[in-house]
């Protein structure tokens, strides 16, 4: 071999390779960190069990309170939550903010939260801070999640009487790979090793696969393939999957998702109740924060009541002479949120279309997540899928975490004598992955909904004579222009031999393994020589850090099309 | 080694099914192979090989489970089989899902760069 192999491993990898000394495999636990609520579950040897906190709750609020020096999460101290929310000390909804830059509309929409979310709109991370002793204590979504995960971990370790290290976490479908690195970062800060990040509806699909398998064992089911739509809507995200299940194998056929959820319903409703609230509270004084929090709590209560009642009377004194006194009907609530509900419907339609599944072929429709109790959401799912009956037998609030715990047991190599873990999920990519080429176009190399593991390549070429370098800029998303997509990283190919434009074959290959690790390999081939003329570059992505929005713009400004590539149509197979 | 197909075997060979197999048999064969070849179910040291194996199996499945793609494939397969084997490359019908890049990841030494920038 002429070329030596270089490996520069990151610290994520080395921590991942640690072996436990115990002769028994450590069973990974499942964690569902929701925008508003979280839960933790494990395989107890015969079934999935959710862990309860000292207040006997299986589902806990996801928030952290900063007061004095020691922050505390909602796992152990919940009773004072609402009081602390009024004082600006409680930070929550971090799953909506993690890994987002301050130009992101989702970040802008978070400014109605009763703590500080500031943007300067240049593509850096937003400034997030809690009010502690009348001063702003800055924090990050990663820190808040880590504090929370430490508490969850301690709770699980106390109850299971063993150290916890490996976890399977559920994540929204629409998360970019960069956002996933932030989740892994938060886990690492909490001393947890992420075995798998699982899109939420696919965790539910795994639970469904197990239930189908059990009914076959009990001779209740036919054992034939079942097509299911799973719709999951929580406080921060709405996700859909279509899966084909038989024999314990859950083949994910398509995924779709968006950052819309209960938080949007809440914000729209707050705006409806108090149209000028944003300008009234923009100064972030103590009183303004208190008013924002009071309005939020009252609106949330009203939305909850509207799930069972057709109208609700809201009477709340926000202080500073501000009062809201209004009767709101369910129709009004549905009307102010019409766009959110339309988007939910379109996510289902798109997912069915991508899965190439006809509505008549659907066996089951599964509705989970906190928003599944909202009558409009149920109607919408039923009418879009043309199913009167929704699948019973899955707890909407516990489904995702239970699926994560199952995946944890399966990927830890645990066997169950009754075959309850003879399960497999075959995942697909939630977003397309490609590079910038032909100006500022995004050219996908691995399209979305490609089964993983996957490896695909596309041939590119130079755009100028004697071009010796090419910039490979990797993006993830669905937009036609690069700026509509998430930047994952970039690197240069250097030493391309002098030749007229269009002659070198620059082969860009993308490889995703079953744990969803992305690697990009680039090789250069010249006509008449079957071997790569320069050593093949293999890079693990993402490589960008928090300033990636800023960075993408700077890259465009500095280079424009000077180090650009052009796609060569792939040869007809 | 359920599907240790050589690069010149047909997609039917990859799934271990007869050319006459119906849709349900194709799905059943795919699931059976996935249960033994998917990287999630094999030992840690076999993950990379099993990933390649699974990519082949899935490629075969996605062609044969789509009636239109299967019809095209069957026509091409029929044409190739009628020709003398020696004079014609059947590479377009092979189960190898990769184009030229498999050369890079297989036979050539690659330089593998990892980064800790995102920390």
Domain boundaries, chain B: 22-83
Consecutive H or E run containing A332 = helix A330-336
Residue A185 reports pLDDT greater than 60: yes
The secondary structure of A511-540 as a DSSP string is EE-TT--EEEEEEEE-TT--S-SSPPEEEE
**Predicted pLDDT at A25:** 65
CA distance A435 to A429: 16
Residue A21 reports pLDDT greater than 60: no
Q: Do B115 and A530 touch (CB under 8 A)?
A: no
**How far does the CA of residue A220 sit from the closest CA of chain B (Å)?**
20
Of the segments A77-81, A219-223, A478-482, which one has the largest average pLDDT value?
A: A478-482
Q: For A460-513, what is each residue's pLDDT tens digit?
A: 999 889 999 999 999 999 999 988 999 999 999 999 999 999 999 999 999 999
pTM comes to: 0.89
Q: Say if CB A36 and CB A174 are below 8 A apart.
A: no
CA distance B81 to B84: 8
Of A6, A491, A545, the CB nearest to B112: A6
pLDDT band at B102 (very low <50, low <70, confident <90, very high): very low
**Residue pairs spanning A and B at CB distance below 8 A:** 144
Q: Do A539 and B115 touch (CB under 8 A)?
A: yes
**Predicted pLDDT at A374:** 97
Q: For B6-52, what is each residue's pLDDT tens digit?
A: 445 899 999 999 999 999 999 999 999 999 999 988 877 788 888 99
Residue A125 reports pLDDT greater than 50: yes
**DSSP 3-state assignment of A337?**
coil
Residue B84 reports pLDDT greater than 90: no
Mean pLDDT computed over every residue of chain A = 89
Fold of B22-83: Helix Hairpins (1.10.287)
Residue A282 reports pLDDT greater than 70: yes
Q: Do A11 and B97 touch (CB under 8 A)?
A: no
Residue B86 reports pLDDT greater than 50: no
**Predicted pLDDT at A222:** 59
pLDDT band at A17 (very low <50, low <70, confident <90, very high): very low
CA distance A3 to A531: 13
A223 vs B117: which has the higher pLDDT: A223
Least confident of A6-15, A467-476, B42-51, B85-94: A6-15
Q: Say if CB A165 and CB A190 are below 8 A apart.
A: no
Residue A556 reports pLDDT greater than 90: no
**Predicted pLDDT at A545:** 74
Distance of CA A71 to the CA centre of its chain: 25
**Predicted pLDDT at A72:** 82
CA distance A169 to A230: 18
Q: For A344-380, what is each residue's pLDDT tens digit?
A: 999 999 999 999 999 999 999 999 999 999 999 999 9
The secondary structure of A29-91 as a DSSP string is EEEEE-SSEEEEEEE-SSSEEEPP-TTS-SSEE-EEE--TT--EETTT--TTHHHHHHHT-EE
Domains in chain A and their CATH numbers?
A: 262-336 (3.90.640.10), 433-567 (2.60.34.10)
Q: Which of A66, A254, A80, A231 is nearest to A147 (CA)?
A: A66
CA angle A100, A103, A108 (to 5 degrees): 85
Handedness of CA A522, A524, A529, A535 (dihedral sign): negative
| Closest A-chain CA to B40 | A411
pLDDT band at B105 (very low <50, low <70, confident <90, very high): very low
Q: For A417-443, what is each residue's pLDDT tens digit?
A: 888 999 999 999 999 999 999 888 999
Q: For B52-72, what is each residue's pLDDT tens digit?
A: 999 999 999 999 999 999 999
Of A3, A513, A540, the CB nearest to B39: A513
**Predicted pLDDT at B96:** 44
Q: Do A13 and B113 touch (CB under 8 A)?
A: no
A533 interface with B at CB cutoff 8 Å: no
Q: Which residues pair with A199 in a beta bridge?
A: A171
Ramachandran bin of A320, using left for φ above 0, alpha for ψ from -120 to 50, beta for the remaining angles: left
Chain A hits for B109, CB-CB cut-off 8 Å, are 1-5, 535
Residue A126 reports pLDDT greater than 80: yes
Least confident of A208-212, A237-241, A259-263, A527-531: A527-531
**Predicted pLDDT at A569:** 57
Of A451, A459, A531, the CB nearest to B58: A451
A378 vs A81: which has the higher pLDDT: A378
As a whole-number percent, the residues of chain A with pLDDT over 70 amount to 92
Chain A hits for B47, CB-CB cut-off 8 Å, are 513-514
Q: For A84-97, what is each residue's pLDDT tens digit?
A: 788 899 999 999 99
B 58-117 residues with CB < 8 A to A: 58, 62, 92, 97-101, 103-105, 108-117
**Predicted pLDDT at A221:** 57
Q: Which residues pair with A441 in a beta bridge?
A: A437, A481
- Write phi, then psi, for A242 (nearest 5 degrees): -115, 125
Cβ-proximal residues to A365 (8 Å cutoff; 6+ apart), any chain: A228, A229, A231, A381, A382, A385, A387, A389, A390, A391
Q: For A289-311, what is each residue's pLDDT tens digit?
A: 999 999 999 999 999 999 999 99
Most B-contacting residue of A185, A536, A544 (CB-CB within 10 A), to test interface? A536
Residue A11 reports pLDDT greater than 60: no
**How far does the CA of residue B48 sit from the closest CA of chain A (Å)?**
8
**Predicted pLDDT at B87:** 39
For A330-353, what is the mean pLDDT? 97
Q: Say if CB A408 and CB A166 are below 8 A apart.
A: yes
**Predicted pLDDT at A141:** 95
Q: Say if CB B32 and CB A418 are below 8 A apart.
A: no
**Predicted pLDDT at B41:** 85
């Amino acid at each position: 071999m002429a070329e030596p192999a270089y490996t520069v491993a990151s610290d994520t990898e080395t921590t991942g390779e640690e072996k436990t000394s115990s002769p028994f495999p450590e069973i990974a636990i499942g964690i569902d960190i929701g925008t508003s609520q979280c839960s933790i579950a494990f395989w107890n040897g015969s079934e999935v069990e959710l862990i309860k906190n000292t207040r006997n709750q299986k589902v806990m609020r996801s928030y952290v309170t900063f007061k004095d020096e020691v922050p505390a999460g909602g796992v152990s101290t919940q009773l004072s939550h609402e009081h602390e929310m009024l004082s600006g000390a409680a930070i929550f909804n971090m799953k909506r903010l993690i890994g987002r830059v301050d130009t992101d509309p989702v970040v802008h929409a978070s400014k109605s939260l009763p703590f500080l979310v500031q943007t300067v709109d240049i593509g850096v991370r937003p400034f997030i801070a809690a009010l502690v002793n009348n001063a702003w204590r800055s924090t990050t979504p990663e820190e808040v999640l880590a504090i929370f995960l430490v508490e969850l971990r301690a709770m699980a370790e106390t109850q299971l009487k063993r150290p916890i290290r490996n976890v399977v976490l559920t994540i929204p479908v629409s998360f970019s790979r960069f956002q996933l690195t932030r989740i892994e970062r938060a886990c690492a800060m909490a001393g947890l090793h992420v075995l798998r990040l699982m899109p939420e509806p696919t965790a539910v699909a795994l639970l469904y696969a197990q239930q189908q398998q059990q009914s076959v064992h009990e001779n209740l089911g036919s054992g034939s393939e079942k097509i299911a739509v799973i719709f999951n809507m929580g406080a921060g995200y709405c996700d859909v999957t279509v899966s084909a299940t038989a024999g314990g194998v859950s083949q994910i056929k398509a995924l779709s998702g968006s950052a819309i959820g209960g938080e949007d319903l809440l914000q729209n409703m707050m705006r409806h109740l108090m149209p000028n609230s944003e300008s009234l509270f923009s100064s972030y004084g103590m009183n303004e924060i208190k008013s924002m929090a009071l309005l939020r709590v009252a609106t949330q209560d009203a939305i909850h009541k509207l799930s069972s009642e057709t109208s609700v009377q809201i009477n709340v004194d926000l202080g500073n002479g501000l009062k809201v006194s209004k009767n709101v009907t369910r129709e009004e609530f549905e009307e102010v949120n019409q766009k959110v509900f339309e988007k939910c419907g379109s996510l289902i339609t798109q997912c069915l279309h991508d899965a190439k599944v006809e509505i008549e072929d659907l066996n089951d429709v599964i509705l989970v997540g906190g928003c599944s109790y909202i009558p409009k959401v149920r109607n919408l799912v039923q009418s879009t899928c043309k199913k009167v009956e929704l699948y019973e037998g899955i707890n909407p609030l516990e489904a995702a975490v239970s699926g994560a715990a199952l995946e944890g047991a399966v990927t830890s190599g645990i066997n169950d004598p009754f075959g309850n873990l003879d399960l497999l999920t075959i995942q697909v990519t939630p977003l397309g992955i490609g590079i910038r080429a032909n100006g500022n176009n995004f050219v996908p190399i691995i399209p979305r909904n490609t089964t993983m593991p996957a490896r695909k390549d596309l041939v590119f070429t130079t755009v100028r004579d004697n071009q010796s370098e090419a910039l490979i800029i990797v993006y993830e998303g669905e937009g036609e222009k690069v700026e509509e997509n998430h930047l994952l990283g970039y690197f240069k190919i250097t030493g391309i031999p002098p030749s007229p434009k269009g002659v070198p074959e620059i082969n860009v290959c993308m490889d995703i393994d079953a744990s969803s690790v992305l690697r990009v390999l680039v090789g250069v081939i010249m006509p008449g020589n079957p071997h790569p003329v320069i050593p093949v570059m293999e890079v693990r992505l993402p490589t960008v850090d928090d300033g990636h929005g800023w960075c993408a713009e700077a890259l465009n400004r500095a280079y424009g099309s000077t180090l650009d590539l052009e796609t060569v149509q792939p040869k007809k197979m | 080694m359920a599907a240790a197909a050589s690069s010149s075997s047909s997609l039917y060979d990859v799934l271990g099914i007869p050319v006459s197999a119906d849709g349900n048999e194709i799905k059943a064969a795919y699931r059976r192979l996935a249960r033994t070849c998917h990287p999630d179910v094999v030992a840690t040291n076999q993950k990379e090989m099993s990933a390649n194996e699974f990519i082949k199996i899935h490629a075969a499945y996605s062609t044969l489970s789509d009636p239109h793609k299967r019809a095209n494939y069957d026509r091409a397969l029929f044409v190739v089989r009628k020709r003398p084997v020696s004079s014609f490359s059947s590479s377009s019908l092979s189960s190898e899902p990769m184009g030229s890049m498999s050369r890079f990841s297989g036979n050539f030494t690659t330089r593998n760069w990892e980064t800790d920038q995102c920390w």
